[in-house]
Each structure stands twice: as structure tokens, then as C-alpha cells.
Amino acid sequence: MAPEETPKLDNTLPKPEDISSNGVESREALMEAENLPGQLHLKYEAEVQKAQSTTAEDRQAFTTLDSESIRRGKLILIKESTDKDLIPNIKTETARRIGVFTEGQEDESYQKNKLYTLNYQRVKEEFETSIGLGEILLDPDIKTIKVLQNGETIIATRGKVQHGRHAGRIGFTKPDGSYLATFTGDKFVILDNNGILPTSSEEEKRNYIERFKKEQNEREEFNKTSEFSNTKSDTYSSIETQNASALEGNEINIDNIKELNNRQKNIAKIIESQFKKRLLDTANLPPKVLQLTGPNGFSADVINKITLAAIINAKHESGLNPEIAGDGGNSIGLFQLHSKGAGRNLTVEYRQDPINNINTIIDREVFNIARPGVNFGGRNLIERALAGASVKELTQIFARDIERPLDKPRAMRLRGATADRWLRQEIKRSYTNETINTPQGFRLNYQNQPTLIAGSSTVGQIPAETKFGTFYKNGISANNLQNALQGLWESKNLSEVKTVVIVGAAFNSLNSGQNPETVLNQYQQIATYLKNKGISAKFTTIQETGGANNNQRLKNNATIFNRLLRQAANSEKLELIDTSKAIYNDKVALAGEIANVHQSDGIHFSAPAMGDFIDVVNQNI
């Protein structure tokens, strides 16, 4: 693995070189004019604003796609037709893609600097490492951009990547010809002044179409021949939704760690998602691991602790830089996979891919269960995690047994101190008053009440003076809630609880793209788990709304889910509290809109509606 000292990063730009003409002659001139958006940027600004009404629907369309299909560069939001229509379609699709993958256009900072802020994770988690600006900015007229990344300003040009693991890919390149990878939180502005106009000559139009089609062919060739076609990036990000939905729970809020910059936070979230997906996937755990965990695999609390220990170690190993090299070039990437150790027989390019690096450390180290007492592999880590060890202890074991730096005592001391520091920051932020640390970072307010209301942010609206205990996390989905309830009962004495009321989690599952039937099945699993513990489970209906953007698909799925829930109650498969029927009846305006029920987000209840909600729950327990 890597030495304890993280190699220093070289953030200097290579010597600028002349670039293709776009109204500015050289990189030096671009740097001097870097605060001025190009005329093409201003044109796209207007087009993105025009397309705002379809942005939510467009974003949903991209969530159904895998990375490879997007990297092909074909039009997705607009049908490709004849060459006559192709140019305006490319322009329109580019504008809509900018809207899908960016945010903050209404903010004062954008109005001042005209810098789009990227947000890949809001669309789909796997896109953070598999999609780039080359797939967003399809328009071949966009030749030069300025990117603000991790405090550095980079002038990037459109073209085929010349070297590295992205060689042959169509994208935006750094001055040395290498690929410019961008992440959520990075900002960019288009610097070009020229763009094809409706009045352009037929020859210019033909040249434009030829450039676009040439890029498409090169994208197809890259997808066929590059390692991306078989990368684990797609394999592990496509584990079925029952595991993906469980990623919402965090023992610690990465966004709250002050010593990480935005790029490091995004990489930390990728580590978090991959560890949780692999450890949650009980069906595919190695037999030797299952011998330690038992047939039910890892609990949510254990997964959270191991995951955080891994993130802390990656921070010390690589500074959360996926491409960094240490040990004279032998150790590569996030967990510094050594060419004679965990990185044996793997290329540098393979180890620089964050998803590959993470899953290699899991497969070759964490899941490497050596004989008892041997300080390498994951046996000690897993055994101590199952026994309830702290995050600090697991961080130190991860350093000693998994990373194995030269000076182990020093590494364990420093990394243990980081665990203490990060946890203090999180606890100070999240756990106040009666709220205590619970599985997956939930908030638990409980004083031996016989009824516990569990679910998402709607539960957080319930006033403290009610007779219910509450257990909730904003954005929690149904499957994740089931895992959290199991972890809660394993870690707390809740012998007084006789009834658990489930609220809101199904809405979040539907909003993440799951279908109503799958979500109902997850509710039935929760009911079975609680019934086996001698606890009555009751389920409230969900808000039949599409939110502030009136997402019709979400609204329709919510209506279908409530219908399925009522059918299950009629057949005595589930116990129902029909809050929707009671709250919305008398509150529907003639135009068919819900009046005075929701807050401005179109989802959460207003204060009067929350009062109605509590009354209905009271009447049914």
C-alpha cells in the first residue's frame, strides 16, 4: 500500500499551447479573458432557460439509461431525423442536457460569473465517474471551455483524448492532451464566440454534420475497445434497487466534514456507495464472510462503520485523489493499490478508476478472510465490527490489516485521530436535545411511548409534544427503512413499543424510480419483520403529488401505490391508516388542485394538514 505521507499534488498547468480558432487565438489569451463568457455561452444560457419546463422530465429520462448508452453521443431527448433537422436538434439537446446536469442558474453567483455548476449525482450516482462534459456538451461548436475545479482554473479544448485510460474518448482535454474529468460541484463556462447560425452556408452546415457524425463514430469505437465497456463502474452501480435505495443512510454526513473540499467529498460519497452496495448484497457475499456474519449478512450499523473506516483510510492514503501515484509509481489510486500487493496484475489505468480501485480493495483485502490472528485481510476488521467496535478502532484495524503502511503505529494513531475529529463534527451538527446516534444517522426521539412513528421527513414535522415516539431520516426509502429498523432493535431497548406506524418512505422510493409493486413488497417485508417481533405494523398512505414541478409520473405512481396499499389492507395483508383520504377529501379545489395542504415544495404537509394527519393516526391506534 502507500506510505502514510500523502504525495503532494502538482496543480500547475502545463505550458499553454495554441488551440483551434474559436474567436480567441491562444490559451494565454483565453486566460486573460477568462471572466468573459463567450457569445455561444450566452446563447445557450437563453436556450437552457427556455427548456426549464422539461428539465425534471429530461432528468428522469437520463436516470433510466446506463453510462455506455450516453457515451455513444446519440440524441436521447430529441429524435434524430434528417440532416436538415439535425443541427437544431443537436443544439436543443445540448441546452437540455446542460439543464439536466447543472444547477444554480438562479443564484446570484451564476448571474455574476456565468459559471454552470455540475451535479452528476442528482441525476444518477454512477454518472459521477462515467459521464463527463463531452457527453453533456454535444454541440461540436463548443470547442473551448473554462473549468473551475478544486481551486484551479483549467482551459480545456474539445477533441480526442491523446493518452491515459481515456485515450480515444471524445471529451474536453487539458493542455497536455489528457482527459479532464469533472465532478459534482465543478463549474464551467463556454468561451467560444462562434457558432453555426441559421443563415450559415450549406457548406458550413455540411461540415458541422460531418464533425458531429465523426465524433459519434469515434465515441462508438471508444465504447467497443476501451476498458469502460467492461468496467465494474457499471457492474456494481446496477445492483438492483433494493440495495441502491439503502445508500441514503449515513452514520456521518460527508458534506459536514470541513477538512474535505467539494471534490474530495464527492469521491468520499463514491466510496460510501460502493462499500454499502457490496456489503448490503448478502446474496453475493463470499462464503467465508458469511461464516462470520451469519446468513443475514451485515447489519446497517456495521456497514456504516466499516464504510467510514474505509473513507478515512482513503483520505490518508491518497488525499481522495483517484489518479495519484505513490511508492515510486507502484501504488495507485484511492487505496494506493500496490503492483506487488492488492494491485497485482492490474494496469495503472485500471487502478486509477475509482470504482475499480474501491472494489479491488473490497475483493482482495476486506473479503480476504485469513486464518484467525493473522494481521492481514478483513477477518479482524469484520469480527471486531460485528462485536460492536467503534469507528475509531475499525479505522485503525483497516490501516494495520488492509493498508499495511510501513509505520503502522503512526498510521493507526493519525487515522484514529481523524475518526475522532470527523465524528465530533457530525455529532455536534446532527444530534441535539433528545436526538441520539442511531443506525444510519437517523434521529430518534423516544421516551418509552407505546407507539413509534417511523419514516422520512414527514415524521420530522410531528411536534414533540405528541404521544408518539419518532424515528426518521430525511429522504429515507422503504427498503432502507427496513434495514434501519432492524439495526434500531438490535441496538436499543424498545420493549415498550407495541405499534410502529410507517410514514412517507414509499414516496421517496417512488421518487427514486422504483415501481409501485416493488415498493409495496418492501412494505410487506417491514410488516413481516415487525410481526415476528410481536409488534403491530400500520402503514399510512402517501401524498398523491408530483411536487413543486408537478412530476406527473411521480403523481401517477403515488396514486397507484395508494390503490395497491388499500387492496392489500382489504385482503388483510397489511394494516392501513388512510391519511390521504381523510386529509385530501374536502380540500380539493374545483380546478383539481390541492388547496392549503402542502408546503411550497408541493410535498410536505402544511401545519393544518399535519394537524389532520396526527388526528387520523390517533384515531387508528
Q: What is the DSSP string of 220-256?
A: HHHHHHSGGGG-HHHHHHTS-HHHHGGGG--SS-GGG
For residue 227, pLDDT over 70 is answered with no
Q: Is the distance from CB of 380 to CB of 401 less than 8 angstroms?
A: yes
Query: For residue 306, what is its C-alpha cell?
Result: 466499516
CA angle 200, 202, 206 (to 5 degrees): 105
For 42, 116, 158, the CA distances from 113, given in Å and listed in that order, are 12, 9, 22
C-alpha cell at 563: 390503490
Distance CA 251, CA 53 (A): 36
DSSP state at residue 601: T
Examine the pLDDT at 117 and tell me if it is beyond 60: yes
**pLDDT of 175:** 87
Q: Which residue has cell 374536502?
A: 586
Pull the grid cell for residue 400.
494495520
Q: What is the spatial order of strands in the sheet that 436-437 belongs to?
A: 436-437, 443-445, 469-472, 451-455, 499-503, 536-540, 575-577
How confident is the model at residue 333, as a pLDDT?
93
Query: Can you tell me the mean pLDDT for 100-127?
Result: 81
Q: What is the pLDDT of residues 178-188, one digit of tens each?
A: 888 888 888 89
B/e letters for 207-237, b = 16+ CB within 10 Å, e = fewer, are: ebbeebeebbebbeebbeebebeebbbbebb
Residue 522 has a pLDDT of 92
Cell of 90: 443537436
Select the more confidently predicted residue: 424 or 106. 106
pLDDT of 102 strictly over 70 = yes
User: What torsion, rounded to 10 degrees, do the Cα atoms 109, 113, 115, 121 define?
Assistant: -20
- The answer, yes or no, to whether residue 74 has pLDDT greater than 60, is yes
Answer whether 60's CB lies under 8 Å from 553's CB.
yes
Q: Is the predicted pLDDT of residue 607 greater than 70, yes or no?
A: no
What are the domain boundaries of the chain? 27-230, 238-430, 436-619
Q: What is the mean pLDDT of residues 476-489?
A: 85
- φ/ψ of 274, rounded to 5, equals -70, -45
Rounded distance between C-alpha atoms, residue 446 and residue 441, angstroms: 15
Tell me what percent of the residues of the chain surpass a pLDDT of 70: 80
Residue 517, pLDDT score: 93
Global pTM reads 0.47
pLDDT of residue 604: 78
Lowest mean pLDDT among 41-50, 186-195, 209-218, 612-621: 612-621
Question: Does the pLDDT at position 419 exceed 80?
Answer: yes
* Cα 12 to Cα 153: distance, rounded to the nearest angstrom: 10
Closest CA to 322 of 295, 369, 356, 294: 356
Question: Can you give the pLDDT at residue 474?
Answer: 80
Instruction: Specify the fold of 436-619.
Output: Rossmann fold (3.40.50)
Q: Is the pLDDT of residue 511 over 60?
A: yes
CA distance 299 to 492: 14
pLDDT recorded at residue 371: 61
The stretch 313-337 carries a mean pLDDT of: 91
What is the overall mean pLDDT for the chain?
Answer: 79
- What per-residue confidence (pLDDT) applies to 183? 81
DSSP letter for 576, please.
Answer: E
- pLDDT at residue 236 greater than cutoff 50: no
Nearest to 597 by CA among 618, 615, 614, 580: 580
Per DSSP, helices labelled H in 438-575 are: 457-460, 478-491, 505-511, 516-532, 552-570
Write the CATH number of the domain with boundaries 238-430. 1.10.530
pLDDT at 400: 93
Q: Is the dihedral of CA 370, 373, 374, 375 positive or negative?
A: positive
